[in-house]
Structures are given as C-alpha cells and as structure tokens.
Structure 1
Amino acid sequence: MAIKAIIAGGGTGGHIFPAIAIANAIKKIDPAADILFVGALGKMEMEKVPQAGYPIEGLEIVGFNRSNIFKNLLLPFKLLKSLNHAKKIIQKFQPNIAVGVGGYASFPILRKAQKMGIPTVIQEQNSYAGKSNKILGKKARKICVAYDGMEQFFPAANIIQTGNPVRSNITESAVSLEDALAYFNLVPGKKTVFVVGGSLGAKSINEAILPHLASFVAKDIQLVWQTGKLFYETAVAAAKSYSSHVKVYDFINVMDFAYKAADVIVSRAGALAIAEICVVKKPVIFVPYPYAAEDHQTKNAMNLVDKKAAIMIPDQMAAQQLVNELFSLLQNKALMEQMETNIAPLGNKHADMQIAQIVIEQAKK
C-alpha cells in the first residue's frame, strides 16, 4: 500500500527545508506516497511548501512569546482551536503516519495523531530538544536526532541518530570553484569569507563586520556578505568604496556557490546551517542567536567546538572579537585544515533518505 503521511511543523526555514527534503525522499522511495503538510498560518511554510509542489493546511497557532508575556494570554485558546482543527485534518486525510519536524505547528497534529492511534515519528534537529518534542517523544515510535546524548530528552530505545536532512541542491551540488568565484565576481587565489546570518540576517554579526570593511581590502581578503533585508541598504552604502573585495546580498539563493567559494564561513548556529556546513566541510566561526528557545544554538555550536570542528563567539562578544578571530583563523592554515578534518565526519548527505526509510517502515507496521 502507498503511504499517506502528514508532515507537520515549520515557522522558520530551519524547519521547512528539512521537512521538504524528507517529503522528497519519501517520494523517491515510494512515488505513489500521498503527503500533506500542516504548518502555521501566516508563516513561511504557507508559501514555500506549495512552491515545492505539496499541499499544505494552516493552523491558527502561535509560539510562546518570550519578549512580550501579555501576547501569550490567547495562547491556550489558540492551542485548543488548533487541536480541534488538527483532529478534523486527520479525520479527512486519514494518514497512516504523522511526522513532526519541530516548530509549534507540529504539536497539535502529532498530539492528536497519538491520541487517535496513528504512529508518529519525530525529527529533532537541535542538540537541546524543544518543549513540544519532549512531550511528544514519550509516545513517538521513533525519534530521529542529529546529536549525541539525546537520551536525556527521549526514550533511548526509540532514538536513531540520522543527522539533519540537507537540501539536495547542496548535497548533490557539482559546482566548481571557478564557477562559484565567477558567480560572485571574485578573484581566484585570494582568501574568501562567507558571512551569513540565516534567511533574515543577523544584526550582531552584521554590526561586527560593518566597521572593518577597509581591513578586508587592506588584507586582500574577499567577503561574500548575506545581510538579510533589514541591513541590506546600510551594508550596500558602507561597501560602496570596497566593491572589489566586498560583495553584499540581502539573500543568496545559490547557497552551494557561496559555500564553495568560501575558505571560512561565519554563521548563526541553527541546526540547518550546521548540517549544511558539516556536509560542505568548511572551517566555521559560529555566533549563536542568544534568544533561541533554551539557548539551543549555543548548545548546537558547542557540540562542534568540543570536537574541535568549529570556533564559537558569544553574540554579545561579536563586536569585539569576531573580525580579529576571523583574520587570525585565515592566517592559521594548520588550524583550518584540522577543522576541516574534524567537521567532515559530522555531515550526513543521506539523512533525508534514512529518515524517509524510517517513516515508511513505521507507516507499514
């Protein structure tokens, strides 16, 4: 029988792109599979999932607001409404498996699926499990994880270490260094840094880079800088005099080109970013986003730092330390090589297929 799967979750690119990668892998194994996504109304997935060719239903759910406690007053009502809506979606679609990829939209669907006796699989992307997944993990058939030590959150017998799914345009990229450098109008043979703060940019990273653009030119180091929309105009104006070395983009669609061109990457420490950087095997300096739930980005980054596979700078120290650390790393060939060697085994190009296989097995049990 062909499987009918609901994939629930979202809220950020970090949840959506792995979810789409899992769906694509299920379709590769079982082309007749029927897949329905469930996300949060008004969030990125409502646009990105249909673009990837899948139907999606939206729940009226919001996450816990850490910066404005009063905004949480309606949370219980929205949760109740979402649970009722989730039940209707399940009754109508009749799935034989529900997959949760994290993000607040996954909770109502998986909670209802478990109550209705439908098998569930969780994909926990971070090294510190989110609240929803901790609750759901008690009754999930399998929990696919990317980090060691996850038995502190989930029943050990149900954990499978798969790594995080990475988009196929990165895992299967055949772009050459020459093409990547040409795309960004860079000169071959010069050191190149790729600075990226997630799809929306990262204020502290951008503000740490901004005053040092002249130093990049003085040291003959090239910079590919994804700023996000909010900082883009500021960065373009500042980089005007340094256009030979500094290339500014609000968003880069061809991430495989940017990774290929880079000698060193500066990045936030979201699970998706880390999974991609492990697959492309590049030296990296992480500046974790300090307001992520349970500070999970710091924990994600430390997992690599402990393996001598990355450098980490706390967000509040970025302005003072980031650029100095970056320039000193670029001069230290031995350290860069050591980081490349240590990060290589942490990437899994086939995580999507592995997770898809687990989902199909559980659906058929």
Structure 2
Amino acid sequence: MRIAVSGGGTGGHIYPALALIREIKKDNENVEFLYIGTEKGLESTLVPRENIPFQSIHITGFKRKLSFDNIKTVVRFIKGVWDSKRILKKFNPDVVIGTGGYVCGPVVYAAAKLGIPTVIHEQNSVPGLTNKFLSRYVDRIAVCFEEAKAYFPQEKVFFTGNPRASEVIGQDGIAGRLSAGLNLSKPAVLIFGGSRGAKPINEAVLKKLGEIGQKPYQILYITGDAHYDEVQKEVDLIGNPENVIIKPFVHNMPEVLAGIDLTVARAGATTLAELTSLGIPSILIPSPYVTDNHQEKNARALSEHGAAELLLEKDLTGSKLIEHIDGILMNENRLNEMKKAAKDLGIPDAAERLYRLMRELVK
C-alpha cells in the first residue's frame, strides 16, 4: 500500500501526520509513504528527520481580507496543483490524506481530480479555510471534535480523534519525570504555551514566582525558545525557587506528560488530544489570536465536560493562575473528577480509526 500525506504550517498539522505514519508502520512495515509539504515550512525539517521521503511544492495561504497577494496565491495554487499531479502520478498512491495547512489545498485537490481516494483530517472544533474548501472534493472527512461535524457534508464525516493521542499511550511517566528533573514524590504541574511559548502566560508565572516557591507542589515551566533568555533574566533577579524547573523546550513531551498531574496550556488540538488520552486535568488559556477563535471553542469542548478549567487570556493574572492551580491540585476529589472526565474524552485508538478509514477507501 502507498500513502501520500500532506500537512504543514504548524506543528498542530504536522505532528498528527507523523503520529499516523509511525502507528501505521508499527502495523505494517511494507506501507510506503511520501510526504508533500512546503520547502520553507516546519515540515521540511521535521519530516526528513523521521526518514520519511519528502517532496515540496510552492504555495502560500489566502489573506482573509481583500489583497493583491490573493491573486498571486491563486496563480501559485494552480501551479501547485500541476506540480502535485506530477508528483502523485510518479508515486502512484493508493490513498492521499491531508492533515491541514494551506499546502494540503493543491495536493488533495490534485489527488481528487486524478481519481485517487482522498481523506482530510480536521483537528480543531472549527475547520480552517483549506479543509472547508477541500470538503467538497474529498471522499472522507475525519474529525476530532463532534462540534466540527456541522461544518462538513454529513455523509462524508467520521469521528476518529487525533492520531497523536495514540502515540502518548504507554509512555513511562516515571522516566518522563526524571528526564525533566522533577521529584517523584511531589505533585507536578506543567506550564507551557506551545513550541514558541506564550508571553502572557510567562508574565503571569513570573509575577508569582516567589509565591509559587512556597507551594507543596512542583512546577515544570516551559518558556518556549523565543522567550527563554528574557524569562531567565527576570528569574535571575527574582530568584529561582527549588520547586520550579525552567526549560526553553522539551523534546520528549509525550513521556513528560505521562508523569504530570495538572497542565496549564494553550488549547491547540494536538495538546488536547494528548491530555485527554492520558487523562490529565488542565487549565486552558486559549490563544485569542487564531482563526475563528478556534482554541477557545476547543477549550470549551473540554471545560463543558469537566475535564478542564477555562481561563481566558483577558482574565489572566498571576493570582488567578495560582487560584486555579490550587483549586484543582489541592482538592483531591476535584482532581480525580477531572482526571476521569479527561480520560472519558480521550480517543486512544485514534490512529487505528483513521488508518481503518483510509483502508476502506482502497478496497
């Protein structure tokens, strides 16, 4: 079986694709993959690192406002479709899957026009422009939130969950704690704002760093590479409490997450898939700067089921953050209720569900 995969722009589109590929390889080593992305996107670095064949096309996203750049984008899209058809004809895949990002537009559209079975995977509760466009042409649409179904043709939609959820199952939480320098005997909180970090979250933590030092729990605080030096300068002035470990980035996040009791994070779809799969309660601070405010809608899908507490960025202060952490971590009943609620929302077999959907199209 040959599978062409496309997804790019952000880790939220790329990591589910890589997780799916890894899970399929566990099941069947004979499956051949080709990943089609952009030359300058994050995928051009992450995919070859996994020893997955990679080819690129040149494409840019549409501006939501009227812009001359959109005319250029249309021209690039047409050329991208032509280039994608050439690549796909040579690779001859049995099925093509797009996991999001504007690069999927020409790739999946080209596949549909060539008569190749096609699937798109929507990670968020509110679809992006590319998947809304592609939904008219593809054979199947896989979603991770029930709320997303309303945006697509109902006869094509299937609930699969996010393949990243399958990847975190079975991780060694003790090893994860030790790798991060965390104590095995104290409750642990992970605070992070995505791969690049989030300045408002960093500011809230820094303002209460001294008070956090008096708490009976420990914190693993991931600043993001872009903010680490600035944060460290502040910490040098304030002092670094013994129960706070500060890092710019963590490369083994699934393993670390398995050893965490509570997480403070943005509400990206991949993060939420990991948290629910592991049954980790969370305090979600959705980014207000994303398309259609989809992170807040993602977060509400968890908070309304008791798996998370929602803290909007406009309401975020150091005091509010500690109040939320204490209210969960220092109330055993509340903590356990949230763990169960999060676990109930998890889809640990998401990768298998998605692979099954793809196989059914090939028969």
Query: CA–CA distance in 2 between the matches of 1:117 and 1:200?
Result: 39
Q: Among residues 310, 313, 323, which one is paired with 2:311 in the alignment?
A: 313
Structure 1 unaligned regions, length at least 5: none
Q: Hey, what does 1:335 align to over in structure 2?
A: 334
- The DSSP-based 3-state class of the residue aligned with 2:93 is coil
Residue number in structure 1 paired with 2:266: 268
Compute the displacement of 1:150 (Å).
Answer: 3.2
Deviation of residue 266 (structure 1)?
A: 0.4
- What residue in structure 1 maps to residue 145 of structure 2? 147
CA deviations 1:144-184 (Å, max 9, x no partner) are 111114331122222221111116652231343xx444333
Contact 1:26 1:357 in 2 (8 A): no
Q: Which shifted more, 24-33 or 55-64?
A: 24-33
* Structure 2 residue aligned with 1:347: 346
RMSD in angstroms over aligned alpha carbons? 2.1
For the residues of structure 2 that align with 1:48 and 1:288, how far apart are their CA atoms?
25
Match in the other structure for 2:216: 220
Q: 1:214 & 1:25 partners in 2: Cα distance?
A: 43
Of 259-268 and 295-304, the range deviating more from structure 2: 259-268
Structure 2 counterpart of 1:281, from 274, 279, 287: 279
What secondary structure is seen at the aligned counterpart in 2 of 1:218?
A: coil
Counterpart of 2:189? 193
**Aligned partner of 1:333: which letter?**
E
Local SS of the residue matching 2:316: helix
Matched to 2:243, the amino acid is: H
**Letter aligned with residue 336 of structure 2:** E
Cα distance in 2 for partners of 1:327, 1:67 equals: 43
- Counterpart in the other structure of 1:359: 358
Structure 1 counterpart SS, 2:76: helix
Q: SS of the counterpart of 1:229?
A: coil
TM-score w.r.t. the length of structure 1 is 0.92
> In the aligned structure 1, how far is the partner of 2:178 from the partner of 2:30?
41
Residue 38 (structure 1) aligns with: 36
Give the whole-Å Cα distance in 1 for the aligned partners of 2:202 and 2:71. Answer: 34
Residues 173, 257 of structure 2: 8 Å contact kept: no
For residues 249-304 of structure 1, the C-alpha deviation after alignment (integer angstroms, 9 at most, x for no partner) is 11101213432332210011111000000011111011111121111111111111
Q: 1:49 and 1:166 mapped to 2: Cα distance?
A: 15
| Shift, 1:114, TM fit | 1.2
Q: Pick from 293, 296, 318: which aligns with 1:295?
A: 293
How many Å separate the matches in 1 of 2:202 and 2:18?
A: 29
Distance 1:231 1:196 in 2: 11
How much identity, in percent, do the aligned residues show? 32
TM-score, with normalisation over the residues of structure 2?
0.92
Shift of 1:91: 2.2
- What are the superposed Cα offsets for residues 49-73 of structure 1, whole Å, 9 maximum, x if unpaired? 1111211111212223569967656
Which residue of the partner structure matches residue 86 of structure 1? 84
Cα distance in 1 for partners of 2:68, 2:138 equals: 33
Instruction: Give the CA deviation at 1:195.
Output: 0.5
Runs of 4+ in 1 over 6 A off after TM superposition: none
User: Cα–Cα, structure 1 residues 256 and 101, in superposed 2: closer, same or farther, change >3 Å?
Assistant: closer
SS in 1 for 2:190: strand
Q: Does 1:239 align with 2:235?
A: yes
- For 1:49, the equivalent position in structure 2 comes to 47
1:230 corresponds to which residue?
226
Is the 1:239–1:246 Cα contact (8 Å) retained in structure 2?
no
Q: Give 3-state SS (helix, strand or coil) of 2:216's partner.
A: coil
Contact 1:180 1:261 in 2 (8 A): yes
Contact (CA 8 Å) 2:196, 2:227: kept in 1 or not?
Answer: no
Further displaced range: 58-67 or 229-238? 58-67
Report the residue type matching 1:189 in the other structure.
Answer: S
CA change 1:239–1:168 in 2 (3 A) is: farther
Q: Give the match for residue 248 of structure 1.
A: 246
Letter in 1 for 2:87: I
- AA at the equivalent of 1:330: L
